[in-house]
Structure 1
Amino acid sequence: MPARRILIAAVIAALSLITACSGGGGAGGTAAPLPSGAELVKKSAEAARAAKSVTFSMETEGTPPVQVKKASGRLTGTGDADGTLQVDVLGTLQEISFVLLGETVHFKGATGGFQKMSRSQLAAIYDPSAILDPDRGVVQLLGTAQNPKTHAAETLDGADVYRVTATLSQQVLATMVPGIAQNVDATLWMDRATARLIKADLPLTGGKVIVGFGDYDVPVKITAPAG
């Protein structure tokens, strides 16, 4: 009798394993094929070209050779932006708040009031307006991506995304993150429904840069600081 019970238990376990592996025998057990990497980067570039606004973030891990260690803010399709930067100045991290309106940048450090610089002066440090510029930013970055390959459909911070790897151009990357001096074998995450770029992981010598995008097309109004 004990041997019979053992045999029955083994049969039940085997049947359970077969059912689990077959996804229950229904249509839901077959994973949908992944879109090609080339198709995804093309769609993502088109989505970036159509974007009217976006929030952005950038942070570093380790010691990659870039001056800006952290950034976050809001950006309109016309290139106006506001946010904060954390910049390495001779080995010391300096926090800078900025408001970019037209050709004028209002900026301030941790103490004191706002001062002014030109857009080109800010661009030498970090140029958020490049992100949605179709001739310099994400559109060009994805349009020139080499060997894109889709690896998985997964979830990232609650969003359904595709994970893609591709080699990105140093020339285009450097317009958005000054200091990058090499092509980058990047990992990209793109929203499954809209194809919009959500995150980019950029490994560099000494560390990495992680870039994030969100709140696409949410209305943004950039105003000059008082005084």
Structure 2
Amino acid sequence: MSARRIFIAAVVSALSLLTACTGGGGGGTAALPSGPDLVKKSSEAMRTVKSAAFTMETEGSPAVQVKKAAGRLSASGDADGTIQVDMAGSLLEIQFYLVGDTVHFKGVTGGFQKLSRSQLSAIYDPSVILNPDKGIVQLLANALDPKTQGEEKAGGADAYRVSATLSQQILDDMVPGLTQSVNGTLWIDKATSRLLKADLPMNGGKVIVSFADYDVPVQVTPPADATP
């Protein structure tokens, strides 16, 4: 075979390989859904959620009072779990049961005590997360400049990774102490459009919120030994 034919064969082979890798120009970022469409669909999907499990944790030293939380939430507003709160430089872990307008809570020592929901909200009210008028639904609906960055796993599920600027006013209800809007990253479930994870960088560190067990029934039963 002549040198010219070898050269032509090599070029054809290279072009064929390039076409196979790029899918004819239809793959890559261009094939991803737009950021505005994803956050809109996710906001709508979160509005129908009946219950969820959640975790919140901090990395570094962000200026937020709640350093760690985990629990279960119902759309009706009931919730249970634990929160770790920074009280004048000391970490206090609190176990809580939120039923109706009453919070049953317990620190490291002593028995359960009671607070009203309004008293709890001055510290941290996790039920706001699924409140369609205040929580995740509004956070997604008001996200600014959302951009789809790619696809990856989040919590074992296939997800779209989306960057967006998130409202300080809405976030403050869910992560008390925030004093700034956040350029965050969201992971949105490809199958259900529900939010799986949010990474929220801020001064001093970050807050990471994750969700699981969507629509698994949650029945919160207050402890029997709670005292006024």
TM-score with structure 2 length normalisation?
A: 0.88
Give a deviation string over 1:174-210, Cα, whole Å, max 9, x none.
0111100100000000000111000000011111111
Which one of the candidate residues 190, 193, 196 is aligned to 2:191? Answer: 193
The number of equivalent residue pairs is: 215
Which one of the candidate residues 201, 204, 209 is aligned to 2:202? Answer: 204
* Cα distance change, pair 36–86 in 1 and its aligned pair in 2 (3 A): same
* Secondary structure at the counterpart of residue 62 of structure 2: coil
The answer to whether 1:48 aligns with 2:46 is: yes
- Taking only aligned residues, the RMSD between alpha carbons, in angstroms, comes to 2.1
The answer to whether 1:169 aligns with 2:136 is: no
Tell me if structure 1 keeps the 8 A contact 2:154–2:197: no
Give a deviation string over 1:23-49, Cα, whole Å, max 9, x none.
47988x945710000000000000110
Determine the structure 2 residue equivalent to 1:105.
Answer: 103
What is the CA distance between 1:157 and its match in structure 2? Answer: 3.3
The answer to whether 1:141 aligns with 2:122 is: no
* Cα distance change, pair 117–20 in 1 and its aligned pair in 2 (3 A): farther
1:10-29 equivalences under 5 Å are: 21-23=18-20
Determine the structure 1 residue equivalent to 2:6.
Answer: none
* Cα distance change, pair 19–70 in 1 and its aligned pair in 2 (3 A): farther
Determine the structure 2 residue equivalent to 1:7.
Answer: none
CA distance, structure 1, for counterparts of residue 15 and residue 93 of structure 2: 58
- Segments of 5+ residues of structure 2 without an aligned counterpart are 1-8
Q: Percent identity?
A: 63
Aligned AA (2:81): G
Give a deviation string over 1:71-106, Cα, whole Å, max 9, x none.
000000100000000011111111100000011000
Determine the structure 1 residue equivalent to 2:115.
Answer: 117
* Secondary structure at the counterpart of residue 131 of structure 1: helix
Give a deviation string over 1:108-154, Cα, whole Å, max 9, x none.
01121100011111111111111111110001101111000001011
Which one of the candidate residues 151, 176, 179 is aligned to 2:177? Answer: 179
Tell me if structure 1 keeps the 8 A contact 2:94–2:105: yes
Aligned AA (1:214): A
The answer to whether 1:76 aligns with 2:98 is: no
TM-score with structure 1 length normalisation?
A: 0.88
* Secondary structure at the counterpart of residue 223 of structure 1: coil
